[in-house]
Chains A and B, each alone.
Chain A
Amino acid sequence: MFAACFTVIRGGGHMFADPELGGHFALVHGSQEFEFHRPVRLGDVLECTPQIADIQWKGRNEFLTLQIDCTDAKTGEAVVTSRGVIVFLGSAPQEPEQEAS
């Protein structure tokens, strides 16, 4: 699953590059989805745009949904959409009124 290299790993790198986000290495991968709009081909130049699609917390854990849209840099055509949930362990705010149900 080569798409992981240019989506999950690179996109995850951007999360760590933002100190205000508070990302840390005590994390596990909750789920991951790839939707291929067309096959990834040799010679493709892909433009990958990561965005934080959602943040929730449950108990002591935080759940961040990272979506990465990869398009063909030449044609703008959609190639791959990656959607993953990263679970940050033990760092959720503990004020009870902020907890998700």
Chain B
Amino acid sequence: MPKFEDVKVGDPIPGESRTIDQMQLIQYAGASGDFNPLHWQEEFASKVSPTGGIIAHGMYNAGLMSKVVTQWAGAPEKVTRIKTSFRAPCPLGATVTFGGEVKAVDEATRTATLSIWAELEDGSKVIDRDSSEAVVQLD
């Protein structure tokens, strides 16, 4: 769990990569209750999807993003705010890399504000760093 005194603006947090497959999306649909066929039915997705195919739930990537932030924070209750802005769609088979960096610290509240992001190998911004952030309560 990071101490306020040890955290500096510009510090990166440990990231993570994951390749999205259909089973994960079906599991996420079951866990969340979001059964939009855009995430599991090829025929429906081919008609309405921005990519013309099945894409991941935004909230599945938000959940993975939250995990990366929580691991750095040390405990879920330390993450007091998280905002994820879904810019680019995330197709099946894509590898998403999650990352974050300290962009501000506040001495009065002993909190750090992180820029957070998730990007595909081609640079597509699945979670856009300019409009996504998390606030972490530090020790």
Per-residue interface assignment for chain B, residues 82 to 104, with 1 indicating a CB less than 8 Å from any chain A CB and 0 otherwise: 11111001000000000000000
* Contacting residues, chain B, for A29 (C-beta < 8 A): 57-59, 86
Determine the interface band of chain B, counting residues with CB < 8 A from chain A: 20 to 34
Answer whether residue B48 sits at the interface, using C-beta atoms and an 8 A cutoff. yes
The CA of A53 and the CA of B54, in the complex, are separated in Å by 29
Contact residues, B54-70 vs A (CB, 8 A): 55, 57-59, 62-63, 66
Could you tell me if A34 and B82 are in contact, using CB atoms closer than 8 angstroms? yes
The CA of A89 and the CA of B65, in the complex, are separated in Å by 25
Per-residue interface assignment for chain A, residues 71 to 95, with 1 indicating a CB less than 8 Å from any chain B CB and 0 otherwise: 0000000000000000001100000
Answer whether residue B37 sits at the interface, using C-beta atoms and an 8 A cutoff. yes
Given contacts A28-B50, A89-B50, contact A4 B85 (CB under 8 A): no
How many whole Å from A35's CB to the nearest CB in chain B? 5
The residue on A at minimum CB distance from B70 is A1
Select B58's contact among A10, A25, A26, A32, beta carbons within 8 Å: A32
* Contacting residues, chain A, for B59 (C-beta < 8 A): 1, 4, 8, 29, 32
How many whole Å from B2's CB to the nearest CB in chain A? 18
The CA of A90 and the CA of B89, in the complex, are separated in Å by 16
Answer whether residue A31 sits at the interface, using C-beta atoms and an 8 A cutoff. yes
Select B77's contact among A8, A25, A39, beta carbons within 8 Å: A39
How many whole Å from B24's CB to the nearest CB in chain A? 15
Answer whether residue B109 sits at the interface, using C-beta atoms and an 8 A cutoff. no
Determine the interface band of chain A, counting residues with CB < 8 A from chain B: 20 to 34
Answer whether residue B112 sits at the interface, using C-beta atoms and an 8 A cutoff. no
Given contacts A28-B58, A39-B76, A89-B50, contact A33 B83 (CB under 8 A): yes
Could you tell me if A31 and B81 are in contact, using CB atoms closer than 8 angstroms? no
Could you tell me if A4 and B62 are in contact, using CB atoms closer than 8 angstroms? yes
Given contacts A1-B62, A26-B48, contact A33 B82 (CB under 8 A): yes
9 smallest CB-CB distances across A and B, nearest first, come from A29-B58, A39-B77, A33-B83, A26-B48, A31-B85, A1-B63, A9-B33, A1-B66, A35-B81
Which residues from chain B sit less than 8 Å from chain A, CB to CB?
31-34, 36-38, 44, 47-48, 50, 55, 57-59, 62-63, 66, 76-77, 79-86, 89, 131
